[in-house]
């Protein structure tokens, strides 16, 4: 009797689950059972290519008694009428690739990256071993995608795939697990006139990448289904995170806007407060505004500049980089109006003023293009303005190209009233610039030496020095202020010190091997000071060090690094400081987030014999010259925070990287040629200090 009761309860439970799933499917805008070609669906399907219907669904993960369609270079076409409005969507597909290749379109209403409505797909994206499953959309705020590697699942099994967007983030799920998630800046879905295809996608009007494998079911909802609804759909008790999934971590020292990415920073100090104006990576880039008393805790102020002009005018698209200054009680923003639709020129130097740093008035009558005599109108942007007491005038450095040779130069302009500008000969640079135009220039003086910091397009942030303002500006031994992961860094002076900040760039698909993205998180602010032979050096501001006040570990006594590395477990996120005594011929490596595999994690390598250091991951190796005097201990500081690692050597040389692929693991110190760990501490941020 007891066995009968248990069996009956099991049947009832299964029936209730099935009913729940049916209820979820009944809410769908469209639902197709593909074994019969969707013949009973409200939205009928046209079949294209070689498709066998009503075949038994077999293999790993198959549902008992299920039927499927077998496709060979084929797809189903639901027509062009299906579209989802608003800022929520869920797409579902149950499919199998018996060969485990996953190199096909899955479920889409695509077109191009600029017009995609939704696209669930499989392809080898790079940065992971083998192919990936991804989901992409385009909203009023731009294009976004997230993905996970097929190596995380059984490649030959049946799987339930879901793409979900809720206006705040985009996710891809598989078999009841969240496999990947990307925060997004919101916006309503972009509609298009492409067909909805199951097993295909369109690319500029052509149907491409047809599917080969088996499909059982597909559905589309005009909202983001809840976790409970998705669990019923996928026949799971609950939605969980995949074992490799890591929740986003809010670093206490790296500001990032809730929506979009922080791009070029424009720092300004006034009345004891640090202001950071920055470009926010949106479809129409605005100037945002932060303020802080300590360089760590930032208050968001009203947007300073936004696109509000004619569609073909300089204020009709992007408000790009510039600078902020004060003169006679009025604050001035010089910015770049960037708009390819402007027939007069893509880039125009623009001007706005404010009485209080909050409310800004644009002055289009003061805007101007390159004059065609000194500078070409192809690259003419990023004005940096400062007053020179020596000659009682204002100077403006701009990203530019020579009007005759079209070669990139560091452009220069002059003004006596800050409103009207004369274009003059560029700074003298030795050697001249390469192909990249020098973005985000910053000119300043320490002692009797003049310094130029700028960022040749999409590369690194570099430095030069000169004994005279007009140059020649020479390249010091270490030209880069950091790795290519830090970009567009600019500086302010607070009356006592120069402080520089930039952005730690995002990488595509949140992977160490991903493509360079424009924007990311704000870097740890660094103090800039002068070294020997025109070298600028960089150390962490004390305000950032003070955040990590909770001791986690202290090395009880010095330790020699012999044949076996020094290893220890650490928290996932922490601050480390250590002191190493190296022999002249030694090479030493500090591994961060290293797991059992020797190639996991990230390694800071010190090579004093070569006067070189590098930060290294499985997908990158960023090395550059440094001065390492083995007569003195080498000091290392490392901020290991979420997907960001920023290391500093001897309060002088920063080495930054993204750390997406490894979020856990301990430290390991190893050396060849003789080394000793003099001290080692690991600190945490107090829970009360961590932003939520």
Kindly tell me if the per-residue pLDDT of 499 is higher than 50: yes
What are 222-269's pLDDT values in tens digits? 999 999 999 999 999 999 987 766 677 889 999 999 878 999 999 999
CATH number, domain of 516, equals: 2.115.10.20
Find the range with the poorest average confidence among 190-204, 297-311, 394-408, 452-466: 452-466
- Is residue 1 one of the residues assigned to a domain? no
Name the least confident of 74-78, 124-128, 308-312.
124-128
- Mean pLDDT, residues 479-504: 97
Query: Which domain-ending residue is among 543, 573, 604?
Result: 543
In a domain, 359, yes or no: yes
Residue 43 confidence (pLDDT) above 70: yes
Q: pLDDT-derived band of residue 16, with 50, 70 and 90 as boundaries?
A: very low
Residue 440's nearest CA partner among 263, 257, 295 is 263
Residue among 287, 241, 244 at smallest CA distance from 263: 287
Q: Is the pLDDT of residue 11 over 60?
A: no
- pLDDT for the residue 18: 52
Tell me if 15 is assigned to some domain: no
pTM over 0.85: no
pLDDT at 689 over 50: no
Regarding whether 579 and 535 lie in a shared domain, the answer is no
State how far the Cα of 425 lies from the Cα of 400, in Å rounded to an integer: 11
Same domain, 231 and 266: no
Secondary structure letter of residue 111 according to DSSP:
B
Is the same domain home to 114 and 131? yes
Domain boundary among 186, 212, 241: 241
Characterize 500-536 residue by residue with b for buried, 16 or more Cβ atoms within 10 angstroms of its Cβ, and e for exposed. Answer: bbbbbbbbebbbbbbeebbbbbbbbbbbbeeeeebbb
Same domain, 284 and 229: no
Task: Calculate what percentage of the chain has a pLDDT beyond 70.
Answer: 96
Within a domain: residue 9?
no
Per residue in 510-519, pLDDT tens? 889 888 999 9
- pLDDT surpassing 50 at residue 68: yes
Tell me, yes or no, whether 470 lies in a domain: yes
Among 543, 571, 593, residue at a domain's last position: 543
- Among residues 222, 183, 272, 240, the alpha carbon closest in space to that of 28 is found at 222
- Look at residue 687 in the predicted model and tell me its pLDDT: 59
- Separation between Cα atoms, residue 69 and residue 200, nearest integer Å: 15
Phi, psi of 152 (to 5 degrees): -80, -10
424 and 323 assigned to the same domain: yes
Average pLDDT, stretch 600-613? 95
- Residues of the chain with pLDDT > 90, as a percent, come to 84
Judgement on whether residues 591 and 536 belong to the same structural domain of the protein? no
Taking residues 85-109, report their average pLDDT.
97
Say yes or no: 310 and 334 in one domain: yes
Whether 10 is covered by a domain: the verdict is no
pLDDT at 14: 39
The pLDDT value given to residue 690: 38
Structural domain that includes position 617: 548-689
CATH number at residue 577: 2.60.120.560
Q: Give the closest residue to 395 by CA, choosing from 429, 345, 443, 359.
A: 443
Q: What's the chain's average pLDDT? A: 93
> Residues 47, 166: one domain?
yes
Beta strand residue intervals within 131-204, DSSP E: 132-139, 142-149, 159-165, 169-174, 177-183, 197-198, 201-203
Report residue 643's pLDDT band, with 50, 70 and 90 as the boundaries.
Answer: very high
pLDDT score of 688 more than 70: no
CB-based contacts of 294, cutoff 8 Å, min separation 6:
274, 543
| Per-residue model confidence (pLDDT) at position 458 | 66
pLDDT of residue 9: 35
Tokens, residue 242: 């995949």
What is the distance between the alpha carbons of residues 652 and 648, in angstroms, rounded to a whole number?
Answer: 7
- How many domains, the chain? 3
Alpha-carbon separation of residue 575 from 8, 221, 501, 660 (angstroms) = 57, 45, 19, 18
Comparing 620 with 247, which gets the higher pLDDT? 620
Measured distance CA(415)–CA(489) in Å, rounded: 25
Element (H, E) at 11: helix 2-26
- The reported pLDDT for the residue numbered 127 is 66
Per the domain annotation, does 338 fall within a domain? yes
Is residue 306 located within the same domain as residue 173?
Answer: no
Q: Is 255 inside a domain boundary?
A: no
pLDDT tens-digit readout, 417-462: 999 999 999 999 999 998 888 899 999 999 999 999 999 876 899 9
Q: Say whether both 481 and 526 belong to one domain.
A: yes
């Amino acid at each position: 009797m007891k066995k009968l009761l248990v069996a009956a309860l099991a049947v009832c439970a299964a029936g209730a689950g099935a009913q729940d799933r049916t209820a979820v499917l009944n809410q769908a805008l469209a639902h197709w059972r593909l074994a019969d070609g969707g013949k009973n669906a409200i939205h009928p399907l046209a079949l294209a290519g070689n498709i066998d219907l009503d075949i038994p669904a077999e293999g790993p993960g198959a549902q008992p008694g299920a039927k499927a369609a077998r496709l060979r270079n084929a797809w189903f076409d639901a027509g062009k009428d299906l579209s989802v409005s608003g800022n929520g969507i869920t797409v579902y597909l149950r499919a199998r690739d018996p060969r485990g290749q996953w190199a096909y379109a899955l479920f889409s209403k695509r077109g191009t990256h600029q017009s995609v409505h939704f696209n669930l797909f499989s392809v080898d994206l790079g940065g992971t071993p083998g192919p990936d499953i991804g989901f992409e959309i385009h909203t009023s705020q731009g294009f976004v995608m997230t993905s996970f590697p097929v190596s995380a699942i059984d490649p030959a099994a049946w799987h339930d795939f879901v793409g979900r967007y809720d206006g705040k983030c985009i996710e891809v799920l598989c078999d009841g697990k969240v496999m990947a998630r990307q925060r997004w800046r919101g916006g309503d879905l972009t509609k298009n006139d492409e067909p909805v295809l199951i097993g295909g996608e369109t690319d500029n009007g052509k149907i491409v990448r047809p599917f080969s494998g088996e499909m059982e079911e597909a559905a589309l909802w005009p909202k983001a289904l809840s976790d409970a609804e998705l669990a019923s759909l996928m026949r799971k008790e609950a939605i969980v995170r995949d074992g490799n999934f890591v929740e986003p971590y809010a670093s206490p020292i790296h500001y990032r806007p809730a929506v979009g990415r922080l791009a070029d920073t424009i720092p300004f100090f006034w009345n004891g407060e640090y202001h950071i104006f920055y470009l926010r990576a949106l479809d129409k880039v605005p100037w945002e505004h932060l303020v802080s008393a300590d360089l760590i805790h930032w208050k968001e102020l009203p947007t300073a500049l936004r696109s509000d002009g004619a569609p073909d005018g300089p204020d009709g698209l992007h408000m790009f980089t510039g600078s902020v200054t004060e003169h006679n009680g009025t604050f001035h923003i010089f910015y770049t109006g960037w708009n390819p639709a402007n027939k007069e020129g893509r880039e125009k130097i623009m001007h706005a003023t404010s009485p209080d740093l909050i409310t800004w008035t644009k002055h289009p009558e003061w805007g101007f293009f390159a004059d065609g005599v000194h500078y070409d109108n192809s690259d003419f942007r990023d004005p940096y303005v400062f007053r020179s007491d020596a000659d009682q005038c204002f100077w403006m450095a701009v990203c530019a190209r020579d009007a005759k040779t079209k070669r990139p130069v560091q452009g220069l302009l002059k003004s006596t009233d800050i409103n009207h500008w004369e274009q003059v000969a560029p700074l003298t640079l030795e050697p001249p610039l390469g192909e990249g135009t020098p973005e985000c220039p910053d000119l300043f003086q320490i002692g009797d030496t003049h310094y130029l910091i700028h960022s040749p397009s999409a590369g690194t942030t570099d430095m030069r020095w000169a004994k005279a303002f007009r140059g020649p500006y020479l390249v010091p031994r270490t030209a880069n202020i950091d790795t290519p992961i830090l970009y567009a860094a600019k500086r302010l002076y607070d009356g006592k010190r120069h402080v520089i900040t930039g952005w730690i760039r995002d990488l595509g698909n949140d992977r160490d091997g991903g493509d360079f993205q424009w924007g990311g998180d704000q870097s740890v602010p660094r103090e800039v000071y002068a070294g020997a032979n025109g070298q600028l050096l960089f150390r962490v501001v004390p305000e950032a060090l003070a955040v990590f006040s909770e001791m986690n570990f202290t090395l009880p006594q010095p330790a020699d690094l012999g044949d076996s590395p020094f290893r220890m477990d650490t928290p996932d996120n922490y601050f480390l400081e250590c002191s190493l005594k190296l022999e002249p011929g030694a090479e030493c490596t500090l591994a961060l987030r290293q797991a059992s595999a020797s190639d996991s994690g990230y390694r800071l390598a010190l090579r004093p014999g070569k006067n070189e250091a590098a930060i290294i991951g499985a997908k990158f190796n960023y090395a550059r010259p440094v001065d390492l005097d083995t007569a003195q201990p080498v000091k290392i500081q490392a901020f290991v925070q979420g997907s960001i690692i920023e290391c500093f050597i001897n309060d002088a040389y920063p080495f930054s990287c993204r750390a997406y692929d490894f979020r856990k693991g301990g430290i390991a110190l190893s050396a060849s040629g003789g080394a000793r760990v003099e001290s080692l501490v690991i600190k945490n941020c107090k829970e009360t200090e961590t932003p939520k």
